[in-house]
Amino acid sequence: MTREEWLKLSATFSAGSLLPRHLLAQLISDGELKRSDFGKDFVWGTATAAYQIEGAWNEDGKGESIWDHFTHHHKGKIKTRENGDVANDFYHRYASDIELMHQLHIPASRFSIAWSRVLPQGTGQVNQKGIDFYDRVIDKCLKENVAPWITCYHWDLPQALEEKDGWANRDCIKWFEEYVDVITRKFGDRVKNWMVFNEPMAFVPLGYLVGIHAPGHINFSKFYKATHHVVMCHGAGARVIRNNVKEAHIGTTFSCSHIDAKNDHPGNIKAAARADAFINRLFLDPVMGRGYPIKDLPACKHIEKHIQPGDEKLMPYDFDFIGMQNYSRMVVKKLALIPIIHFVNVPAKKLGHDITDMGWEVYPEGIYQLLKQYAAYKNMPQIIVTENGAAFPDTMVNGEINDTKRLQFIKDYLKQILKAKQEGVNVGGYFIWSFMDNFEWAEGYRPRFGIVGVDFKTQQRTVKASGKWFSEFLSQ
Ligand code: GCO
């Protein structure tokens, strides 16, 4: 980006957000990472999710989602008692936010559709105003040369479906097919990049097993059922996309953490294998045609009883890409009294590395290890890192947010991705979580993941040093 462009940008979005030139020069001339090292087809972008940024929770016919319900009726479950009613007000500010992406040279934006905005009751009546909103967002992206990458489901199930038992009800397979059918018919003419789910290993256990996310259940039976139904919905959703969208590029995303045992005590080594089966393989393995990882995670036998005749054939799907989402590593030790998994994490602060505002260990080598682990699957398609990033407390000084720790984090993780790529791993893209600070689920607005800062009182956007670096990096 030229100096003139910076001036224009900072005047538009945040008076005085220009970094002193010497600092900017230092940030961009580390001489270590070059966009071209990753190849010209490598996809670069940033990611967001509907509930975390849109706001307008009940506007223009939108139905209630489980996150609307959870934050309104179980306020104590959100550390700051906040909610996404307004969030980043993206519903009204999408145009200027997408213009900002364009000005930062961000080539792709990963975002999700709020199911209850297009189908307020989850099935049946389509809400035209909801469709119109995503039409405007997609058209604006295309106009600004920002490729839209859509996640069908990023955790905000319509509450009307939760009242019928949500993902624990096997009917969810047909509800989901109907929803994916609606959005792909409406938007598939312009959107080619689709992801079925965002992180099943987060929303299923957090929502059904430990109850800290919507819908807030602590119920083993619902957890096992929801796990199998969500596995089934991977293929079900992907087949609908394939059917409706010409030249679709279809993926789905999985959260993962490199796992180490606390020490080489045999009980802890086995605990690490169990943790890997639970955290990294419970959803990925059946989707990749390996079935549930029952050998390393015996609790899977409770899932297997929900498998119906014919399911096994439908569980795998030949995705065009697998989205890898990684933030941190886990070090585990055996603890028999913890149900299902029988392990606990060694607290990140005891591991001797820097930790983020989420309490997560900064461990860049972990992403390299995971890329190698994924690449070892037979038939693994291209891997795209669909989320990586860090929350650190930001301070604004003279209108600038000099987020050096976040910037270093991104560079260090990118170096590990490049190393894996140079060793032959088929990794084809990288999306930073997140484009801008947003509502971080049960943590509220406190953790800040954006490369663009947001003042939630004024909705002022300020490009952070990390955002300026990314922009420079992209325009090399
Ligand atoms: C997730 C999501 C994002 C989060 C991000 C930081 O997996 O939790 O995809 O919604 O905000 O991962 O926690």
Atom of ligand 1 nearest to the CA of 199: 7
Q: What is the pLDDT of residue 426?
A: 98
Establish whether residue 442 lines the binding site of ligand 1, counting it when its CB lies within 6 angstroms of any ligand atom: no
User: pLDDT for 81-111, tens place per residue?
Assistant: 999 999 999 999 999 999 999 999 999 999 9
Establish whether residue 116 lines the binding site of ligand 1, counting it when its CB lies within 6 angstroms of any ligand atom: no
Q: What is the pLDDT of residue 32?
A: 79
Residue of minimum CA distance from atom 9 in ligand 1: 198
Residue of minimum CA distance from atom 5 in ligand 1: 433
Catalytic residue status for 199: yes
Q: Which of 2-11, 71-80, 95-104, 182-191 has the lowest mean pLDDT?
A: 2-11
CA 201 / ligand 1 centre spacing (Å): 11
Q: What is the pLDDT of residue 31?
A: 55
Q: Rounded distance, CA 332 to CA 272, Å?
A: 6
Q: Rounded distance, CA 342 to CA 452, Å?
A: 40
The residue assigned the tokens 């969208």 is 245
Query: What average pLDDT does the segment 251-265 reach?
Result: 98
Establish whether residue 199 lines the binding site of ligand 1, counting it when its CB lies within 6 angstroms of any ligand atom: yes
Terminal CA-CA length for the chain = 9
Contacts of 388 (CB under 8 A, 6+ apart): 325, 326, 327, 367, 410, 413, 430, 431, 432, 433
What is the SS3 assignment for 169? coil
Neighbours of 34 (CB within 10 A): 10
Query: What average pLDDT does the segment 255-268 reach?
Result: 98
Given the DSSP bridges, would you call strands 193-197 and 249-255 parallel, antiparallel or unpaired? parallel
Residue of minimum CA distance from atom 11 in ligand 1: 440
> In this structure, are residues 470 and 82 in contact, taking their beta carbons and an 8 Å threshold?
no
Query: What average pLDDT does the segment 6-23 reach?
Result: 47
User: pLDDT for 391-450, tens place per residue?
Assistant: 999 999 999 999 999 999 999 999 999 999 999 999 999 999 999 999 999 999 999 999
Establish whether residue 51 lines the binding site of ligand 1, counting it when its CB lies within 6 angstroms of any ligand atom: no
Atom of ligand 1 nearest to the CA of 389: 6
Ordered by where they begin, the domains of the chain are 39-385+411-435 (3.20.20.80)
User: Which DSSP category does 136 fall into?
Assistant: H
CA 29 / ligand 1 centre spacing (Å): 30
User: Is residue 20 scored above 70 in pLDDT?
Assistant: no
Establish whether residue 440 lines the binding site of ligand 1, counting it when its CB lies within 6 angstroms of any ligand atom: yes
Query: What average pLDDT does the segment 314-324 reach?
Result: 98
Atom of ligand 1 nearest to the CA of 253: 9
Best of 212, 328, 360, 440 for a ligand 1 pocket test (most atoms within 8 Å of beta carbon) = 440
Q: What is the pLDDT of residue 335?
A: 98
Q: Rounded distance, CA 158 to CA 123, Å?
A: 9
Query: What average pLDDT does the segment 11-19 reach?
Result: 44
Compute the half-sphere exposure of residue 19: CA atoms within 13 Å on the CB side of its CA.
20
Query: What average pLDDT does the segment 29-35 reach?
Result: 75
Contacts of 356 (CB under 8 A, 6+ apart): 327, 328, 362, 390, 391, 392, 409, 447
Q: What is the pLDDT of residue 462?
A: 98
Residue of minimum CA distance from atom 8 in ligand 1: 202
Catalytic site residue from 387, 400, 440, 472: 387
Best of 51, 153, 195, 441 for a ligand 1 pocket test (most atoms within 8 Å of beta carbon) = 441
| pTM (two decimals) | 0.94
Q: In terms of Cα–Cα distance, which of 437, 472, 434, 431 is closest to 193? A: 431
Query: What average pLDDT does the segment 238-242 reach?
Result: 99
Establish whether residue 118 lines the binding site of ligand 1, counting it when its CB lies within 6 angstroms of any ligand atom: no
CA 10 / ligand 1 centre spacing (Å): 28
User: Is residue 17 scored above 50 in pLDDT?
Assistant: no
Burial of 209 (0-12, 13-18, 19+ CB in 10 A): buried
Q: What is the pLDDT of residue 13?
A: 47
pLDDT grade, residue 26 (50/70/90)? low
CA 399 / ligand 1 centre spacing (Å): 27
Q: What is the pLDDT of residue 438?
A: 98
CA 88 / ligand 1 centre spacing (Å): 16
Query: What average pLDDT does the segment 122-148 reach?
Result: 98
Given the DSSP bridges, would you call strands 43-47 and 329-334 parallel, antiparallel or unpaired? unpaired
Type of residue found at 390? A
Query: What average pLDDT does the segment 318-329 reach?
Result: 98
User: Is residue 48 scored above 80 in pLDDT?
Assistant: yes
Residue of minimum CA distance from atom 4 in ligand 1: 440
Query: What average pLDDT does the segment 149-161 reach?
Result: 99
Q: What is the pLDDT of residue 4?
A: 54
H or E, element range at 265? none
CA 203 / ligand 1 centre spacing (Å): 10
User: Is residue 302 scored above 70 in pLDDT?
Assistant: yes
Burial of 87 (0-12, 13-18, 19+ CB in 10 A): buried
Neighbours of 102 (CB within 10 A): 17
Q: In terms of Cα–Cα distance, which of 292, 306, 279, 291 is closest to 220? A: 306
User: pLDDT for 334-364, tens place per residue?
Assistant: 999 999 999 999 999 999 999 999 999 999 9
Establish whether residue 212 lines the binding site of ligand 1, counting it when its CB lies within 6 angstroms of any ligand atom: no
Q: What is the pLDDT of residue 23?
A: 52
Establish whether residue 193 lines the binding site of ligand 1, counting it when its CB lies within 6 angstroms of any ligand atom: no
Q: What is the pLDDT of residue 476?
A: 86
Catalytic site residue from 54, 82, 162, 199: 199
Q: Rounded distance, CA 450 to CA 453, Å?
A: 6
Query: What average pLDDT does the segment 214-234 reach?
Result: 98
Best of 360, 387, 388 for a ligand 1 pocket test (most atoms within 8 Å of beta carbon) = 387
Percent pLDDT > 90 in the chain is: 93
Establish whether residue 340 lines the binding site of ligand 1, counting it when its CB lies within 6 angstroms of any ligand atom: no
Instruction: Find the Cα–Cα–Cα–Cα dihedral 71, 74, 76, 77, rounded to 10°.
Output: -70
CA 329 / ligand 1 centre spacing (Å): 15
Atom of ligand 1 nearest to the CA of 441: 11
> In this structure, are residues 323 and 386 in contact, taking their beta carbons and an 8 Å threshold?
yes
Catalytic residue status for 387: yes
